[in-house]
Amino acid sequence: MLTISHLSKTFNPGTVNEKRALTDLTLHLDPGDFVTIIGSNGAGKSTLFNAIGGSFLSDRGSIVLDGQDITVAPEYRRARSIGRLFQDPMKGTAPGMTIEENLTLAAGSGGWFSRLSRADRARFREKLALLEIGLEDRMRQPVGLLSGGQRQSLALLMATMVPPKLLLLDEHTAALDPSAAEKVLRLTREIVAEHRLTTMMITHNMRQALELGNRTLMMDSGRIVLDIGGEERAGLTVDDLLKRFRTGAGKDLDNDRILLSD
């Protein structure tokens, strides 16, 4: 489904601010893989997502999604096949537009909003009802009036309204309170399972990284230092994961946010 080969990216090359963000990174995902990714700040996690999503062009390497080479494809074209949620709940929705208008854009229903059919509106209500937060009765309300958890739930629904070939979740529950985060995570599990979405999720929670999905990656200095799945991953503890990181990276993980997470 996704094949990344020898991907490298350096920002501000030849200057005092030079930063090697990705180093000869190679990765393959099969259809339906749900991969969790963990690593310290600056490890290259979000940079990898930005490279896949087309926020910039890599210096070298290739990205192939579902048999199509998207290495130099513009971001807007990749967005047709890639759904993405960010840490900031404000990034995935248009706050000045209503819930109904946001869903119309996500669904690609086309035309002006007044042309929406009854079937479209009924489908939107049905999808919103699955969130169990009452948004199906507030479809004409501006999204900017919603809470962070409500907006992130809506953003998740929008990103998967038309099931993407690849779903990228960039710490999408990190900015939410524990109750809202738990609800969004539950919705994530359900939607990914329902559509069998190929998914990559960045998390700072090591226990979550072992419990969710079928595979865990750890990154450091723009490289993948651990890639584990199947029965081998099923028996791992957080302490085991830290030991594996030490072996792969040649140093201890020193990120307090990760180490102190539940």
- As given in the structure block, the two tokens for residue 139 are 């479809």
Q: Using alpha carbons only, give the angle 118, 122, 125 rounded to the nearest 5 degrees.
A: 140
* Rounded CA separation 207/211 (Å): 6
Strand segments (E) across the chain: 2-11, 19-29, 34-38, 60-65, 68-69, 82-85, 166-170, 199-202, 215-220, 223-229
Tokens 């004409």, residue located: 140
pTM score of the predicted model: 0.89
Helix, strand, coil distribution of the chain in percent, nearest 5: 40, 25, 35
pLDDT tens, residue order, the chain (262 aa)? 999 999 999 999 989 999 999 999 999 999 999 999 999 888 999 999 999 999 999 999 999 999 999 999 999 999 989 999 998 888 889 999 999 999 988 887 554 445 677 888 898 999 899 888 889 999 999 999 999 889 998 999 999 988 999 999 999 988 888 888 888 888 899 999 999 999 999 998 888 889 899 999 999 999 999 999 988 888 888 898 888 888 888 877 776 556 545 5
User: How many Cα atoms sit within 13 Å of 126 on the Cβ side?
Assistant: 7
Q: What is the pLDDT of residue 113?
A: 47
DSSP per-residue codes, 78-136: HTTTEEEE-SSGGGSS-TTSBHHHHHHHHHT--S-GGG--HHHHHHHHHHHHTTTSSGG
